[in-house]
Amino acid sequence: MRFTDIFIQRPVLSIVVSLLILLVGIRSIMEMEIREYPVLENTKVTVTTAYPGASSELIQGFITQPLQQAIAEAKGIDFLSSSSIQGFSTIEAQMELNYDANDALAEIQSKVASQRNELPDEAQDPVINSTTGEGRALMYIAFFSDTMQVPQITDYLAREVQPKLQALSGVAKAELLGRSFALRVWLDPQRLAAVNLTSTDIAQTLRQNNYISAVGQTKDEFIKINLTTNTDVANTKQFENLIIKSTEDTVVRLKDIARVELGSQTYENIALYKGKPSTYVAINLSPGSNPLSVAERVKELLPDIKSQLPSDLQVELPYDASEFIDDSINEVIKTLIEAVGIVLVIVFLCLGSLRAAIIPSIAVPLSLIGGAFIMLVLGFSLNLLTLLSLVLAIGLVVDDAIIIVENIHRHIVDGKSKKEAALIGAREMANPVIAMTITLVAVYAPIGFMGGLVGSLFTEFAFTLAGAVVISGIIALTLSPMLASKVLKPHGQSTRFESAIESLFDRLANTYQRSLAIMVKAVSPVIMFALVVLVSIFFMMMLSQKELAPTEDRGIILFQGKGPQTATLEYLQKYGTEMQTAFEQVPGYDETFMLVGMTSPNAVFGGFKMKPWSERDISQFDIMPQLQASVAGITGLKTALFPIPSLPGSSGGLPFQFVLTSGSDFTQLDQIADEFVGAAMQSGNFTFVQKSIDIDKPVTRVKVDRERVADLGLSMQEIGQALGGMLGGGFISRFNMEGRSYEVIPQVERYARQTATALNDYFIRADSGDLVPLGSVVSFEHDVEPSSRTQFNQLNSVTIEGIPAPSVSMGDAISFMKTKAVDILPRGFSYDFKGESRQFENSGSALIVTIFLSLLVIYLVLAAQFESWRDPFIILISVPMSIAGAMAFIMLGFASMNIYTQVGLITLIGVVAKNGILIVEFANTLQKRGRNKRDAVIEAAAIRLRPIIMTSLALIVAMIPLLIAAGPGAQSRFAIGITIATGLGIGTLLTMYVLPAFYIVLAKKIDTSELEGQGNTADQTPT
């Protein structure tokens, strides 16, 4: 008795096994979480150190350099980048993919702490932040008002809204992006001089008279009472009345020599929503959190927050990444349902019998649901990739049911009873089903063990698909034969439609058999044709556009506009307003958010959000040229438009980032970068190219006359403190207001610091006690410096940022720059990549290598199954036929060579190998029955033609919903759909003629005499 006989003879057992698969599968689906992609730990640790007033050169040498040198010793760092600008040092450590976020943060914290004593005393303590996941927040919530000032909005949010959002499960940080309150003391240099005071005197008085005391308590034998005191200053009025200087006849208060106000901590940046000053709350995910769950919690809380806002404070949600995720997943689920329906209709049309179609109709959903149990056991989630794998699985899992039903049906047509036909048919197909199942699992195994971004993303894809195929194989050997023995009609009871289908396939098989017999009379031309096809694959790959993933229509376009290095906030706001006006005229516009001066002192960054997909007729790709034309007319800013990256893990910024590094100074780097920028623009490969820095930022060097300073009894420290106190804008103390602390920042009024010559009117106190004009000890020297002193892996760097032209892929852009690097870069210079281009470069040919590894694994698995080194080679000759078919369409521009098309190519390996297994396994059986090789393979191919057509057609039509997909995620679904549909269609057609030719030449001739006397157990020869 064969294994399959048990389930045919015990139908209750067969049903119980299937019901158990159904139950655990449904339970598993209910337990799994839904998310966009598999969990990735993509951690970036940012160390920010403020030193108000310090030059970029000082920042780099005394803050950035020692800190990044220590941070570089930490483990798990992919690359280290830094930026030193006036008053700020920023160091970013991009960790290796899936490196533990907590370990990264802890180690970098310890490295930074070890260097604190090396930093200047006046520098503020480094602030360390860690973000895991996307470089962007999950959501940006805008709060704005027509009457409230931005600091008031920020203060309200910090007290009332931020704590509520921060308390939500899965929220790592609810970050406020907006101006905060600060006590601003606007000094008047002339008034200071009139009362014989300096900025140093003011700073000292503010520190001494705004003192936060920890008094303690009184305590006797039985009673203790806490003590507080009012040594600090709590409001603007008290600050104004602070006594700065007192003589016998005069009292000088702070309001006499300065304007005191509760203003903003900074006046260098502002956030805008639809052009209105705003404060944003950025919702950042904690590591491993489900974005859909977190977004749902935030949106559930928003109505409660909104109901408690002041009447003149409004709230909007301009950016919510979960909308795209949710819509994309719904689209894939819709595609999944459509594919199941289409496949089952095709199965019915091919079998011609509603009863026969019932069996695949049960097997397909049961296999998909059962596969969920394997997903849960492996810790997977329901995400875009696992759902996409289930769409592909439809065409694979239906194969097993089809070939079982078709084979049993063939025996019924030959006159056997339903039960006998089921027993014989299941026995015949048990080995091929097992072989095909193991083959498909073997094909995807190499993907599951890949590293890097592609491996992290597609491990769940591969094992989900393999799991569904395994469940399908179990159902095909347990449930399908039993159902066939019960529901198929006996011979002679066929309907007219069923008879017509039978007749159609019989004619098709006979026609094919005759054409094949003619074709294999001379196998040499067929083999030569196959070799030409094989060679052509290489050239088609070279001619295909290459990118990491197709760009999706997410309904939001990011923009980055840069002004001149001298640009003020007012300058940026002026042109930002023009940009806002231009955006509102573009079709499909919904809203915009804009961060002015936040990402860079002279930059405007934001997003153009389109209406939902259901409310617009224009796509993101159609609107990009219109937007670019609109911003091109805004001459005050050099603006780039770019989409959000399709895959997680990018370090942010423009799509193309080519980093030049050297130990040389920035002047040489800038000259080399100019050559690259010129070559890039002339090539036509880019629509936008810029350097990350320019050596055009004006700087006035204050040259101190050391001898004159010494004559006056002054020190360089006093000169530096006087300048910093007037111009630096750093805080000197904090004050308490309603339970929260705020900075106290003295600085001269803006009118008194408009030009360097204004320093001539500043005064310092000489050793004699007299005030001396600062102009008497300093002179001015005008120069230019880098707009930012950037480094990459501790070397000076300039990043060439760009956007590839619409017809140019990321791979082509990278290849062009690499070629130019060979010609342009002198000794001592090198290059690297950041952002999406780094992802592409790191992924490289990983999946291409995996394709070859999959071929090797499947060859070895087939060799073990067939106990032959020849048969696997014959079976796999169908692979280049199908890959060539897919590559032809990719080369013609229907898709690019990306991770989705490459996964499609890997899928083709397993699918077309199944066809080869059906033919070769049956041809070997016929040889054992006495046929010669030629007759055996012709007959086997003709008999297996129907199941091969049905299984191939089922998978091809399962791709139709992917090919006509629209909306969120459509580009990636189309890429994998076109690859499988074209590759399988063309590959199957070629395989049906090429494989028999190779079988005739390479297959081992089976000597039937060796089988005599061995109790031949081969199944009855089909007629």
pLDDT at position 498 over 80 = no
Confidence at 1, pLDDT banded by 50, 70, 90:
low
Q: Which residues contact 838 (CB under 8 A, 6 or more apart)?
A: 79, 651, 657, 832
The pLDDT of residue 494: 66
Range(s) of the chain covered by CATH 1.20.1640.10: 1-31+352-488, 496-553+834-1005
pLDDT at position 161 over 90 = yes
The pLDDT of residue 1022: 39
Q: How far is CA 511 from CA 406, 500, 812, 939, 941, in A?
A: 20, 16, 46, 12, 12
Which sign, positive or negative, has the C-alpha torsion 683, 689, 693, 696? positive
969-1010 per-position pLDDT tens digit: 888 889 999 999 999 999 888 888 888 888 888 878 776 655
Q: How far is CA 1016 from CA 416, 939, 1008, 1009, 1020, in A?
A: 21, 21, 10, 11, 10
Confidence at 492, pLDDT banded by 50, 70, 90:
low
pLDDT at position 1020 over 60 = no
What b/e string do you get for 797-810 counting C-beta neighbours within 10 Å, with b at 16 or more? bbbbbbbbeeebbb
* CB-CB contact of 720 with 43 (8 Å): no
Q: Which segments of 479-495 does DSSP mark as H helices, in order? A: 480-487
Query: DSSP characters for 588-608?
Result: TEEEEEEEESSSSTTEEEEEE
Residues 824-850 have a mean pLDDT of 85
Confidence at 277, pLDDT banded by 50, 70, 90:
very high
Average pLDDT, the chain: 86
pLDDT at position 7 over 90 = no
Residues 256-271 have a mean pLDDT of 91
Q: Which segments of 690-773 does DSSP mark as H helices, in order? A: 706-711, 716-723
Residues 797-818 have a mean pLDDT of 90
Residues 349-363 have a mean pLDDT of 81
CATH topology of domain 135-325+714-769: 3.30.2090
pLDDT at position 1012 over 80 = no
Domain 41-132 bears CATH identifier 3.30.70.3270: no
957-970 per-position pLDDT tens digit: 888 888 887 778 88
Confidence at 1014, pLDDT banded by 50, 70, 90:
very low
* Total count of residues recorded for the chain: 1023
Q: How far is CA 701 from CA 705, 750, 784, 879, in A?
A: 13, 20, 10, 69
Range(s) of the chain covered by CATH 3.30.70.1430: 41-132
Q: CA–CA separation, 1006 vs 870, rounded Å?
A: 13
Number of neighbouring beta carbons within 10 Å of residue 539? 11
Residues 336-352 have a mean pLDDT of 82
User: In the chain, what percentage of residues exceed pLDDT 90?
Assistant: 26
The pLDDT of residue 1018: 41
The pLDDT of residue 1019: 44
The pLDDT of residue 658: 94
CATH topology of domain 1-31+352-488: Multidrug efflux transporter AcrB transmembrane fold (1.20.1640)
Confidence at 135, pLDDT banded by 50, 70, 90:
low
914-951 per-position pLDDT tens digit: 888 888 888 888 888 878 888 888 888 888 888 888 88
pLDDT at position 183 over 70 = yes
Superfamily for the 496-553+834-1005 domain: Multidrug efflux transporter AcrB transmembrane domain (1.20.1640.10)
Q: Containing H/E element for 679? A: helix 666-683
17-64 per-position pLDDT tens digit: 999 999 999 999 888 888 888 888 788 899 999 998 888 899 999 999
pLDDT at position 501 over 50 = yes
Q: Which among 433, 430, 364, 486 is positioned nearest to 4, based on CA atoms?
A: 430
pLDDT at position 690 over 60 = yes
The pLDDT of residue 852: 83
User: In the chain, what percentage of residues exceed pLDDT 70?
Assistant: 97
Lowest mean pLDDT: which of 72-86, 140-154, 399-413? 399-413
Q: Which among 360, 364, 342 is positioned nearest to 351, based on CA atoms?
A: 360
366-415 per-position pLDDT tens digit: 999 999 999 999 888 888 888 888 888 887 788 788 888 878 887 887 77
Q: Containing H/E element for 520? A: none
Q: CA–CA separation, 805 vs 802, rounded Å?
A: 9
Q: CA–CA separation, 311 vs 156, rounded Å?
A: 13
Range(s) of the chain covered by CATH 3.30.2090.10: 135-325+714-769
Question: Tokens for 994?
Answer: 């090429």
The pLDDT of residue 1016: 45
The pLDDT of residue 60: 92
> In 7-70, which ranges are E strands?
43-50
* CB-CB contact of 46 with 131 (8 Å): yes
Superfamily for the 556-696+789-831 domain: Multidrug efflux transporter AcrB pore domain (3.30.70.1440)
pLDDT at position 731 over 50 = yes
pLDDT at position 275 over 50 = yes
Q: Containing H/E element for 893? A: none
Lowest mean pLDDT: which of 167-171, 235-239, 374-378, 449-453? 449-453
Range(s) of the chain covered by CATH 3.30.70.1440: 556-696+789-831
Strands 763-765 and 771-773: antiparallel
